[in-house]
Structure 1
């Protein structure tokens, strides 16, 4: 049977192991997937990779239509190749009842038998358009009507190879059916082309899916790190606290002759005895929780369609080992300390608590604080925002660790400040109890500190960064009203009225973001101020259709709301990229607003330009908050329940001294509220310091002052939840214990 204290440690290990299992499974399951339309081809030949960093998600450098046709003819001659099909992808979004279908934005060349005729399409049957009817597709040129000739289970819209060549002249993948020898295929293709087999074919996944998966990975890495920190923090602190609560029992053992080594061995075995079954239960619970969360990640846009849990033995083994090892480490530190005390000292635990701040605690706390400062300095010099975010999170973790370790040094001051002005028996009992047991007060406040600190940091970081980017983008929009995309990735020519087009070209093998405007002459280019040093007087570019051209740099582009390193002639962009879209149109073109567009003001544009990213960031923040607040809140209740159960003799002493049951309960509730207040103040201060550091780093990135903002509703709700759990878990057992006869 588990005692109340041992049950508390058991629950802490179960919770910590479950968190690690869930998020480690989700993290390791994010692997590239072969596109469904290419899954039947054992060998894929992909055009040369762009030279950008992996987190740039650049499409491979395309082959021109002529080069792709020549390569496909040569590949058909390879022994074992039954067919070589040219894959093409372009923008095509169907309208349903005049409204764009948001989850279908890609068109492809039909790779199966019986291709559709000219002007016909094969659509996914879930679209709900019957065979023989007409479907309107939005393309780069505008809306066009197509006849539906068939249904498929594959996602997207499918047209004949000839139609696909018109809408997407460039080629990036050729699929080979049959049983070709990959080495024979490599001997035919160029040195820069890639031959993909097996799981490597996942590299052919759409870049939008790769980006979604990368976003999910960043989120899961951060969440897994936080879950791991929560596991270590909660399990180690709870295990150490449980050992410390057994000082009287240890004193009795020492009194009957137990050696310090025997005491430590007993405590280590006890930690493992609770940790192993708790970890097993945590692994099972975490694995079951991971499956529905995988679907939720896809629905939220954190993972591409098809993402699912991949069961890997090493993940389960690491998660299983984490709980008992952390429980053993947490109990070992406390066991080493309590095993050295003399029997008389241990039996006098009710009279005198050990020194709150040991030398080791001071050293570790200051080292953690120094680590937080170092992370903040590194974040200010981070080369990109993803690295900045990770460094900021690591700095916050180090800062919270420092706050927990150094908290006993400030607890007496906070007790005097918070309860000093209050008079009466109840306030006196709560104040003196907290002051004489500083270590206990700091330990019970630690979960609140953890919860509130991360609530302040996570929500405040989101608010601060969103406001900074919105203000910077809004200041560069030249008109009061703009035309923005509505349920579509961009505006086609029919809706945008000649607005600048977005596309990508390749310079020296690297993908470069390009804008196509009408005030640039064909054959020339403008460069942005930030990219001026990267280009010479002329630039050799490879367009989206694989064709190459050398353009002359004629000047510097004016800053605008959308970033582009090069600005080319709009007609040139449209000719080489039929799927190019405009991110917005300003001023609003004359005439009626077409499907997939709506009128907004420039502040709306500033907000909506990053609306999807902001939505993902908000959901990311909520996920982090749920992990930290959920784990922390449960730890608050668990720790206070352990504390109250151990203090039963104290309540009986109060009853013998003449206190009523109501006075005892009020004193317990007030002390619990004091603990929450102390944890909230220290945690809130740590969170605000972390946000201030992030704001300074963000200001260096965007080149403008960034105010520190926090989400007060989220913080208030977090503190209120901790307070409710603390008072309930403390008051209920205290009320029951205080009903016992005083002499019992």
Structure 2
């Protein structure tokens, strides 16, 4: 009862905690619901077939496909075994490529694959001869239409013989066999038993059935879902930290303000245990109500959050948010747990208050640093330093996570040690004010030094707000600039021919470029010693590389290879004359002879004659072509209508980089909005609590002759000073974490990297903190000054 009465009486002090906890529970509930809904799904074009067999290592060779199909086809109940042959194909409509370009999810298929969905012909008939194609109805073409189809070899005329409801282009099976590379998937139609099919397959592949078919989800969809998962994880992690931080700081500050109240309770017989139970009761009361509100709000906004993630590209199209009950209940329990954990230190501090505190009139902090605060602050500082030192040695993803953990630990340490750190900073900042006329600066300084815990509590959320903003913005700016610089260095040519609405360049584009002035790598996968190696098909005469051994002139025969990344063979670096057993993209194996060893290239690890690549991978595309000595206008004219364009080398930026930049900006804005929103609530709440509790101080100033304007200027000066100190400490924390990121990127790129912090954006966050701090302190002070100077009671 006492706990509930206290909450009712001091509701202003707990408004910020209630709002933050409710929002935290809502975010946890909504993100949990979205995350649990974001499961792999069975692709529509595979949904109509009950069983699939997928290769577990290298692609199957044609002989292996025939043997497997015969064994599986002999299983009772199996009516057909369909080899999934896919290749790059794209319609050219009105001179522009139609549809979404994605090299990982080719849209060209053999007609027999349409039966796996199934996609029956709606209008017209199936393709039976070369030059015939069935298209999706979304293309808006009717049977008999003449179209141009882009493939890896270039544009070719086709006749539409029919349409289907699904996406993609479908050609006769024998035509698809000549356009596709290796086979990795077999669809098994009929009623054959899974156990019998598994026995027939043996160790040649993995059998997928039922929900296991979701493993066939398109790469583009799974990639989008992975990005969404990272976004949701970042949101939950940041929200959880900020929520615990705000709740803990609010309860701690409230407990410090209520020392006389707790002392009075002790004086009338309350035990420390009863005081602790009172604080815990307050936390549970707020947590129960805020958790219920937040859980309901989270369930309501989860579908909208899922829709927003789809809209910005963090979830695939067609994503639907499901709303089971248990994630909402889990979020509610998490809210209660956060409330209890956040009030833990406050309850211990409240229980330690002695009866003599009831007699104190001054708000002087006699012991701002306890032993527990020293120990915890030191441990957090040590953890933060360890994480910061470990950051450079981590991988790209782990590097960002470690830097974030380092910043979090250092922020907590700075908050705990603030009563020690802030007073010297306050004296240093306000030293010039002592030499100036007027008492405003002196009063602001002395007030901050006298109530050092209040000053530390106000500075703490500013440290987190500015620290997170500078850290996230600095991470993105530093990493983006470093990799953009690497890409610019790699493009040392006058012009770059790049795809324009297509996933890559065809042979027709390369044939249109000037011989001897073009460097291009037609990418394919080679499987060497159980590892996948990226190989590039090249024109041997156009290769530009530093030769360490051998001669590039010897590259030309089908069995030759140039090593560009020094892969090991038989436990030692490759050397000229070595024999390298490989498996090509079509599943066929061969032994290649190393004819040269060159310095590593950024694009590929192995070089092959382009004719070799094309013989084993008809669907292979070329990512870029570098050209010198030809004007951009001439290059654009040469590749017009082929799904390509030309840009200056210094201006080149890939489509994927541009899309990634957009997604990163959205991600950054989301995280910064979360951190600033949460900690902004803490800033406002702490300042309102602090100002509301200083009515007696304001009364003393008024009785001493100060005007209302002078009192408000003192309050404003103190707020500006504390917010500025918190911002400086937050910047120091973020820079310490960012140094590790810069060092790690520099080691990865083997080149110096500049530490970049977008000061204009960080300055905007600091400005928002200043405005919020002034509003949350001056407005309550103005309200408090309306009270009579005589007779004010605490």
- TM-score, length of structure 2 as denominator length: 0.86
Deviates more, 1:90-99 or 1:261-270: 90-99
| Contact in 2 for aligned 1:94/1:104 (Cα 8 Å) | no
Query: Aligned partners of 2:524, 2:605: CA distance in 1, in Å?
Result: 11
Aligned counterpart, 2:697: 650
Q: Do residues 630 (structure 1) and 697 (structure 2) align?
A: no
Q: Do residues 297 (structure 1) and 309 (structure 2) align?
A: yes
Query: Aligned partners of 2:694, 2:134: CA distance in 1, in Å?
Result: 73
Structure-to-structure mapping, 1:161-560, within 5 angstroms: 161-311=173-323, 313-348=325-360, 350-382=362-394, 384-422=395-433, 423=436, 424-497=438-511, 499-519=520-540, 520-521=555-556, 522-532=558-568, 533=572, 537-560=578-601
SS in 1 for 2:262: helix
| Contact in 2 for aligned 1:170/1:545 (Cα 8 Å) | yes
Aligned counterpart, 1:23: 31
Query: Aligned partners of 1:433, 1:516: CA distance in 2, in Å?
Result: 74
Aligned counterpart, 2:782: 735
| Contact in 2 for aligned 1:19/1:231 (Cα 8 Å) | no
Structure-to-structure mapping, 1:582-731, within 5 angstroms: 582-587=622-627, 592-595=638-641, 596-605=643-652, 610-731=657-778
| Contact in 1 for aligned 2:477/2:758 (Cα 8 Å) | yes
Question: 1:96-124: CA deviations, max 9, x gaps?
Answer: 44333463543133233444444344444
Query: Aligned partners of 2:172, 2:644: CA distance in 1, in Å?
Result: 29
| Contact in 1 for aligned 2:280/2:344 (Cα 8 Å) | yes
Cα separation, partners in 2 of 1:171 and 1:599, compared to 1, 3 Å: same
Query: Aligned partners of 2:373, 2:566: CA distance in 1, in Å?
Result: 48
| Contact in 2 for aligned 1:19/1:286 (Cα 8 Å) | yes
Q: Displacement of 1:574 after TM fit?
A: 1.8
SS in 2 for 1:257: coil
Cα separation, partners in 2 of 1:104 and 1:561, compared to 1, 3 Å: closer
1:39 to 36, 47, 52: 47
| Contact in 1 for aligned 2:264/2:357 (Cα 8 Å) | no
Query: Aligned partners of 1:288, 1:602: CA distance in 2, in Å?
Result: 50
Q: Displacement of 1:526 after TM fit?
A: 1.6
Query: Aligned partners of 2:172, 2:95: CA distance in 1, in Å?
Result: 25
Query: Aligned partners of 2:710, 2:165: CA distance in 1, in Å?
Result: 70
| Contact in 2 for aligned 1:376/1:693 (Cα 8 Å) | yes
Q: Displacement of 1:150 after TM fit?
A: 4.4
Q: Displacement of 1:715 after TM fit?
A: 0.5
Deviates more, 1:244-253 or 1:111-120: 111-120
| Contact in 2 for aligned 1:87/1:171 (Cα 8 Å) | yes
Q: Displacement of 1:695 after TM fit?
A: 0.4
SS in 2 for 1:584: strand
Where do 5+ consecutive residues of structure 1 fail to align? 51-60
| Contact in 2 for aligned 1:231/1:323 (Cα 8 Å) | no
Higher alpha-carbon Rg: 2
Cα separation, partners in 2 of 1:190 and 1:405, compared to 1, 3 Å: same
SS in 1 for 2:187: strand
Q: Displacement of 1:530 after TM fit?
A: 5.0
Cα separation, partners in 2 of 1:265 and 1:606, compared to 1, 3 Å: same
Question: 1:632-677: CA deviations, max 9, x gaps?
Answer: 2232223222322333333333333333222232222222222221
- Over the aligned positions, Cα root-mean-square deviation in angstroms equals 2.6
Cα separation, partners in 2 of 1:317 and 1:561, compared to 1, 3 Å: same
SS in 2 for 1:500: strand
Query: Aligned partners of 1:149, 1:727: CA distance in 2, in Å?
Result: 72
Q: Do residues 13 (structure 1) and 21 (structure 2) align?
A: yes
Deviates more, 1:621-630 or 1:601-610: 601-610
Query: Aligned partners of 2:308, 2:666: CA distance in 1, in Å?
Result: 11
Query: Aligned partners of 1:307, 1:529: CA distance in 2, in Å?
Result: 41
Aligned counterpart, 2:548: none
Aligned counterpart, 2:64: 67
Aligned counterpart, 1:55: none
1:566 to 597, 606, 611: 606
| Contact in 1 for aligned 2:537/2:613 (Cα 8 Å) | yes
SS in 1 for 2:195: helix
Aligned counterpart, 2:515: none
Cα separation, partners in 2 of 1:723 and 1:129, compared to 1, 3 Å: farther
Query: Aligned partners of 1:356, 1:95: CA distance in 2, in Å?
Result: 73
| Contact in 2 for aligned 1:518/1:570 (Cα 8 Å) | yes
| Contact in 2 for aligned 1:20/1:231 (Cα 8 Å) | no
Query: Aligned partners of 2:288, 2:573: CA distance in 1, in Å?
Result: 58
Q: Displacement of 1:268 after TM fit?
A: 0.7
SS in 2 for 1:41: coil
| Contact in 1 for aligned 2:564/2:601 (Cα 8 Å) | no
Cα separation, partners in 2 of 1:262 and 1:32, compared to 1, 3 Å: same
Query: Aligned partners of 1:20, 1:402: CA distance in 2, in Å?
Result: 26
Q: Give the number of aligned pairs.
A: 731
Q: Displacement of 1:475 after TM fit?
A: 2.4
Q: Displacement of 1:183 after TM fit?
A: 1.0
Query: Aligned partners of 1:101, 1:420: CA distance in 2, in Å?
Result: 69
